[in-house]
Structure 1
Amino acid sequence: MQADGSWSMGVTAAQVSAWPAGTVNIAVSGESSAGNPISITHPVTVDLTPAAITINTIATDDVINAAEKGANLTLSGTTTNVEAGQTVTVTFGGKNYTASVAGDGSWTATVPAADLAALPEGSASAQASVSNINGNSASAVHNYSVDSSAPTIIINTVASDNIVNASEADAGVTVSGSTTAEAGQIVTITLNSPTVQTYQATVQADGSWSINIPAADLEALTDGSHTLTATVNDKAGNPASTTHNLAVDLTVPVLTINTIAGDDIINATEHGQALVISGSSTGGEAGDVVSVTLNSKTYTTTLDASGNWSVGVPAADVTALGSGPQTVTATVTDAAGNSDNETHTVTVNLTAPTIGINTIATDDVINATEKGADLQISGTSNQPAGTTITVTLNGQNYTATTDASGNWSTTVPASAVGALGEASYTVTANVTDSAGNSNSASHNVQVNTALPGVTLNPVASDDIINAAESGVAQTISGQVTGAAAGDTVTVTLGGKTYTATVAGW
Structure 2
Amino acid sequence: MSTVAYITRNASGTNQHGTSAEGSPSVIPTNGATDISLNLDPSDVQSYARRGRDLHITLFDGTVVELEGFYDPVATGSKNLFLSDGGDFIEVVLEDKADGMLFASYEPIDISGKWSAYDDMVFLDVDRIEPVVAPLAAPLLGGLGGLGAAAAGAAVLVGGGGGGDGGDGDGAIVPTVDDADGTYDVPEGDPDGVTITGTGEAGSTVEVDIGGVTGTTTVGEDGTWSVDFPTSDLPGDGVYETVVDVVAPDGTTYDDLDGPTIDIDTEAPTVIVTEGTKSVNDIVNGDEQESGTIISGTGEAGATVTLVIEGHSQTTTVDENGNWTVTFSSDEIDTGEYETDIEITTTDPHGNSTVSSDVLVVDTETTVAIDTGLAGGDDLINAAEAAAAAGVAITGTAEAGAAVEVVVEGVTRTTTADSNGTWSVIYEAGTLPSGTYDADISVTSTDTAGNSATADSTIAVDTEAGFVQLSDDPIETDDVINEDERADGVTITGTATPGETVTVQLGTAQGTVVADSNGDWSYDFAASEIPEGTGDLDISATIQDSAGNTASDTDTVAYDTEVTNYTSADQNDTVGVNLQQMQQGFTLQGTVEEGSSVSVEINGTTHDAVVDSSGNWSLTVDGDDIGSFSQGGLVATVTATDPAGNVDTLMQPIDIDTLYETPEFAGTTTIAGQIQSIFLDESDDALTMYSLDSSGNATQLDATETSSGISGVDKLDLDTPISDGANLIVQSTDDAGNKSSTLVIDQENPTSSLLSGLDGFNIDAIDLVFEDGTDGANLVLTEALIKEMSDNSDTLTIRADELANVTHEVTLTGATEITSTVSGYSAYSIGDATVLIEEDAGISLNGTPVI
TM-score normalised over the length of structure 2: 0.28
Structure with the greater alpha carbon radius of gyration: 2
Greater relative CO, 1 or 2 (CA 8 Å, sep 6+): 1
Q: TM-score, normalised by structure 1?
A: 0.45
